[in-house]
Chains A and B, each alone.
Chain A
Amino acid sequence: MRYAILIYEPQSGFEDRKSPPDGAYWGAWMAYSQQMNAVTTGGAPLEVPETATTVRLREGRRLVQDGPYAETREQLGGFFVIDVPDLDAALDWAAKCPAALNGVVEVRPLMPMTGQ
């Protein structure tokens, strides 16, 4: 089954991105994504939440706002798509995610589409 691993990080997690590329923070992320390589079918890290812009259409008008959709303590920082046998396997990968230590990692099955 295919699952999205959605990574929600606190502000401090986003700040850690400024740390040196050969330091502990980036080292953990590199190791994680390399370890998961065999089961990963997609995904991307996202820029910091302040770079987000939201759009909604109401009564024909386009309402554009700066900032992410929800002002929550943790913000979506990136995602992986993995293909594994079952939920427990997906949860195991989620538990190994560096952000599981200070943020929240959500595991969500991809909706099966006809023809897949």
Chain B
Amino acid sequence: MSPPDARAAAERAARASHGRLVGLLASRTRDIAAAEDALAEAFARAIETWPQTGIPDNPEAWLLTVARRVDGNAARHREVQALAEPEIVRRIDERAEAGPATDPRLELMFVCAHPAIDPAARTPMMLTLVQGLTAERVAAAYLEPPATLSQRLVRAKARVKATGIAFALPDRAEWTDRLGTVLEAVYAIAALSDGDGELLGEGVHLAGLLAAELPREPEVRGLLALLLFLLARRAAGRTPGGNYVPLEEQDPATWDHAAIDRAEAELKAAAAAGRPGRFQLEAAIHSAHCWRRAGGETPWPQILALHDRLSTLAPTFGSEVARAVAAAEVHGPEAGLRLLDSLEAPPGHLAHAAARAHLLARAGRPSDAGSAYAAAILLARDPAVRAWLEARRRQL
């Protein structure tokens, strides 16, 4: 194998193993930073060694062995030294003996989204620790200077160790709430990935990992379905020239049908449990929007009914805006506008401003619609969305 191939293979293995190895190395000491340091050293050695020796049969075990040796050698990590190899080996054996072991990444995700961790750090922690993305990459998605994000991550990791957060699945009594914070943190990736398919793919990966470990949790599968629907239609949201295409104008033929099929299967499996929840309902709304695949029309009355249930169960501002749009489709633009205007819009909410402009135009109030579009245009960060809103305004 040529050095560049070995390098690429090492990097692939590093990415693929990152979350599991951080989880295993940090689970006893809770020292995530030390685990990351040791792993970084192990990855560096892999890139050095593998081109000569070839890639080991079990790259992950190789990396773990080297990492724990590095970690054990680091005098500044006294605790790690004290526990050293026997403890890690024992933990790995324990996992092996316990039969189908819990993926260490699952525990790591519960650590990242622990209620004692700053909510703003939870999603970035998952992306960097579990998915092995760099802080620079994640900072770019947050439109934030990398140093700011790194600081937040450092603080959160220090807190895991200082407060003694356990690398373990929560108790039954806390289970629903704790799982909820994990799902929220994964779902937050969707909000970040406007036009960023890579990040949405990372979210699907995280949700898939949760679903594989917790197949009996309907909301987990609902979230996976939801993210798959978003991923399936992401490419269709842009023309080849980069212009924005709203959902209703997308050609279903351009959707990723394999992803939609997978999403439908997850949603069906989730619904079979008979415990509806926010993510299942949102996924069901996306599923309804996909009816056009079979040549039918968008079933707005069903979509509105789903929105009404969502509104009772877990209203969010974004979902209430979507509900108003659905109400306009069923009962006319005035009904939608009444709902929209009854919401207390947080300042600068693009979806709210755009929906209002759209409904005013449909209600035959071009002058009001014009100023509403102007407000929405000011809020649109994405140039393609801005251009689309400007085109709509010109058509008034």
* Residues of A participating in the B interface, judged by any CB pair closer than 8 Å: 1, 3, 85-92, 109
A88 touches B163 (CB 8 A): no
A86 touches B171 (CB 8 A): no
Interface residues of B in 71-129 (CB under 8 A from A): 114, 116
Q: Which residues of B contact A89 (CB under 8 A)?
A: 166
Pick the most buried of A87, A89, A91: most chain B CB atoms within 10 A of its CB: A87
**A1 vs B164: C-alpha distance in the bound complex, in angstroms?**
7
A85 touches B166 (CB 8 A): yes
Q: Which residues of A contact B116 (CB under 8 A)?
A: 87, 91
Q: Which residues of B contact A90 (CB under 8 A)?
A: 164
Q: Which residues of B contact A109 (CB under 8 A)?
A: 162-164
* Residues of B participating in the A interface, judged by any CB pair closer than 8 Å: 114, 116, 162-166, 168, 170-171, 174
Pick the most buried of B114, B116, B163, B174: most chain A CB atoms within 10 A of its CB: B163
Q: Which residues of A contact B174 (CB under 8 A)?
A: 88
Closest to A91 in B: B116
B162 touches A88 (CB 8 A): no
Q: Which residues of B contact A3 (CB under 8 A)?
A: 164
Q: Tell me which of A1, A87, A88 contacts B171 (CB under 8 A).
A: A88
**A3 vs B116: C-alpha distance in the bound complex, in angstroms?**
15
Closest to B173 in A: A92
Q: Which residues of B contact A92 (CB under 8 A)?
A: 171
A87 touches B163 (CB 8 A): yes
Q: Please list 14 pairs of residues, one from A and one from B, whose beta carbons are closer than 8 Å in the complex, sorted by A's number.
A: A1-B164, A3-B164, A85-B164, A86-B165, A86-B168, A87-B114, A87-B116, A87-B164, A87-B165, A87-B166, A88-B165, A88-B171, A88-B174, A91-B116
CB proximity of B269 to chain A, nearest CB, Å:
30
Q: Which residues of B contact A88 (CB under 8 A)?
A: 165-166, 168, 170-171, 174
Pick the most buried of B116, B163, B164, B168: most chain A CB atoms within 10 A of its CB: B164
Closest to B162 in A: A109
CB proximity of B199 to chain A, nearest CB, Å:
30
**A92 vs B170: C-alpha distance in the bound complex, in angstroms?**
11
**A3 vs B9: C-alpha distance in the bound complex, in angstroms?**
45
Closest to B178 in A: A88
The 10 closest A-B pairs by CB, nearest first: A86-B166, A1-B164, A87-B164, A86-B164, A87-B163, A87-B165, A88-B166, A109-B163, A109-B164, A87-B116
Q: Which residues of A contact B165 (CB under 8 A)?
A: 86-88
